[in-house]
Chain A
């Protein structure tokens, strides 16, 4: 039963996501469009499953929702901070810095989410990954204490992502 389920739906969450996106694209909810969205959600992952050999098995949707809300709030706060830096700090006094974040996450999906979060939060841009994937290079716009920024990223984002992607 489980094997048949995974043969038909190699990525169950992707199926759900595609159905929801298709329904949102229609801008109105009708039964026909929901059914068509579900059909698309089954056919597209099934047809492209050759290029996605590894299914991320452990993924906690509930924690991902709270994580996204927390990131949205952080984006709001950091935006105001960076706007203030842009307007008030002259170029000569700006202290940009490279920081290196040691990665404890191993799944590519989890590292992608972490890098995307760092870039979306204004003031930090994730620039590069080391060749074996053990550390992430982050550029900070203006900071007095680079180590504090690194610890903040590790405790605030990485520890939560470790719980989301098991």
Chain B
């Protein structure tokens, strides 16, 4: 019986912590006014907010006597895919110049997003016509 009570409280606390981090992420998303700083808020929600909610689901299933490990997989796939979407949003921001222009890299010519081959097809078209 006490095990059930501890499990219920642990589930509730995990849910509360997860929800608190998600609401902080949403506040950040609404508060910041620059696309690049806004990007920082969802990455936080994606890691610890969802992580604590999944932990709550695992503890709940464990108290009911059904061990569930699907949540670990959700976590793993989330951790692998979340940086990719953030990376692409950052690349779009750099490409459309909606943020500060980044400093040039020290060893190479330019950033890969900014090295667009736009001029070359036009130059080819100009030489053909």
Contacts and interface: CB of A to CB of B under 8 A. Distances in A.
A129 B108 CA distance: 10
A149 interface: no
A24 B72 contact: yes
Residues of A in contact with B, size category: 35 or more
A122 B47 contact: yes
B102 A98 contact: yes
Nearest to B38: A141
Contacts of B47: 75, 79, 120, 122
A120 B82 contact: yes
B6 interface: no
A94 interface: yes
Contacts of A21: 73
A138 to B, nearest CB: 10
Say whether chain B's binding surface is mostly helix, strand, loop, or mixed: helix
Given A24-B72, A120-B47, A128 B24 contact: no
Interface in A96-131: 96, 98, 100, 102, 115-116, 119-120, 122-123, 125-131
Interface residues on B, range: 35 or more
Contact of B108 (A116, A131, A141): A131
- Scoring B32, B79, B86, B105 by chain A CB atoms within 10 A of each residue's CB, the highest score goes to B105
Contacts of A129: 111-112
A110 to B, nearest CB: 15
Residue of A76, A82, A120, A127 with highest tally of chain B CB at under 10 A: A127
Given A83-B24, A83-B44, A91 B32 contact: yes
Contacts of A135: 105-108
Which of A83, A94, A100 has the most B CB atoms < 10 Å from its CB? A83
B87 A100 contact: no
B113 A128 contact: yes
A21 B32 CA distance: 39
Interface in B98-129: 100, 102-103, 105-113, 115
Interface of A: 21, 24-25, 27, 75-76, 79, 82-83, 86-87, 91, 94, 96, 98, 100, 102, 115-116, 119-120, 122-123, 125-135, 137, 139, 141
9 contacts: A24-B72, A79-B47, A87-B27, A98-B100, A120-B79, A125-B43, A127-B91, A132-B107, A139-B40
Which 4 residue pairs spanning A and B have beta carbons closest together?
A: A119-B83, A127-B90, A130-B105, A130-B108
